[in-house]
Amino acid sequence: PLPVLAVVGRPNVGKSTLVNRIIGRREAVVEDKPGVTRDRVNYEANWNGRRFTIVDTGGWEQDVLGIDASVAAQAEFAIQAADAVVFVVDSTVGATDTDEAVVRLLRKSGKPVVLAANKVDGQSGEADAAALWNLGLGEPHAVSSLHGRGTGDLLDAIMAAL
């Protein structure tokens, strides 16, 4: 079986957009409204000839648990099934309490984590990305999943972790 990379994070941070960028297709469901990722969440991807399975998460955000509990629940589920995790944070928003809760789950799991500081669409966003060093997960990799900025470097970091 291929190594499994899980993509976790709050609703609307750009997880599905990042997955699309990595798989090179417009297949994962992207919406302005949170909570629309559903159905197939596993995709086959490859980078520099190394194949892996990438798991998009999301889609349970509007269930009865409420946002915090459901993000945590699906992150926990995805993390335990993964060999490595990409934790996506919206750098234009910064770290929220929900993000901090996911960080605790990630630490507890002991799995390798790559931090993606998303929505850095230009140079002016780099400072927002650097602020995410505070999460204690190592280097925040500044990316724009929408435009592709920084995603090559992110993939190199992912491959080193996977």
Least distance from C-beta 49 to ligand GDP, angstroms?
26
Binding site for Mg ion (CB under 5 A): 15-16, 37, 58
32 binds, among ligand GDP, Mg ion, none (CB under 5 to 8 A by kind): ligand GDP
Cβ(28)–Cβ(37) under 8 Å?
yes
Rule CB under 6 A: say whether 14 interacts with ligand GDP.
Answer: yes
Q: How far from each other are the two terminal CA atoms of the chain, in whole angstroms?
A: 13
* 14 in a known ligand binding site: yes
Q: What are phi and psi of 43, to 5 degrees?
A: -130, 150
Least distance from C-beta 146 to ligand GDP, angstroms?
3
Percentages helix, strand, coil for the chain, rounded to the nearest 5?
35, 20, 40
Contacts of 4 (CB under 8 A, 6+ apart): 52, 53, 55, 81, 82, 83, 84
Question: What residues from 58 to 117 belong to the interface with ligand GDP (CB under 6 A)?
Answer: 58
* 112 in a known ligand binding site: no
Cβ(16)–Cβ(51) under 8 Å?
no
17 binds, among Mg ion, ligand GDP, none (CB under 5 to 8 A by kind): ligand GDP
Least distance from C-beta 23 to ligand GDP, angstroms?
13
Question: What residues from 18 to 47 belong to the interface with ligand GDP (CB under 6 A)?
Answer: 30-32, 34, 37
Q: Which helix (H) or strand (E) holds 90?
A: strand 84-90
Binding site for ligand GDP (CB under 6 A): 9, 11-17, 30-32, 34, 37, 58, 118-119, 121, 144-146
